[in-house]
Amino acid sequence: MSNLTKHEFTISRNQREQNTGHPGKVIWFTGLSGSGKSTIANALDEVLHGRGLKTYILDGDNIRMGLNKDLGFSPEDRKENIRRIAEVAKLFADSGTIVLTAFISPYREDRQMARDIIGEDFVEVYMNTPLEVCEDRDPKGLYKKARAGEIKGFTGIDAPYEEPENPEVIISEGSVLSSSEFMVNAMEAKGWLSNIKEVNTLDKRKTIALDFDGVIHKYSEGFKGLENAYDGPMEDVEYAFKRLKSEGYTIKIMSSRPAHVIKKWLIKYDLDQYISDVSNFKFPATIYVDDRAFWFDKDDPNWKKDVEEIINKIK
Catalytic residue of the set 35, 105, 179, 180: 105
Q: How many Å apart are CA 21 and CA 194, to the nearest integer?
A: 7
Give the side-chain half-sphere CA count within 13 A for 277. Answer: 19
Check: CB of residue 98 under 8 Å from CB of residue 195. Answer: no
By residue count, the chain amounts to 315
Give the amino acid at 267. I
Strand partners, 254: 279
CB 250 within 8 A of CB 207: yes
Name 306's Cβ contacts closer than 8 Å, sequence gap at least 6. Answer: 240, 295, 296
218: burial class by Cβ within 10 Å (0-12, 13-18, 19+)?
A: middle
- Phi, psi torsion values for 145, nearest 5 degrees: -70, -40
Bridge partner residues of 127 (DSSP): 171
Residue 194 appears among annotated catalytic residues: no
- In 10 A of CB 192, how many CB atoms? 19
- The residue type of 217 is H
Catalytic residues: 105
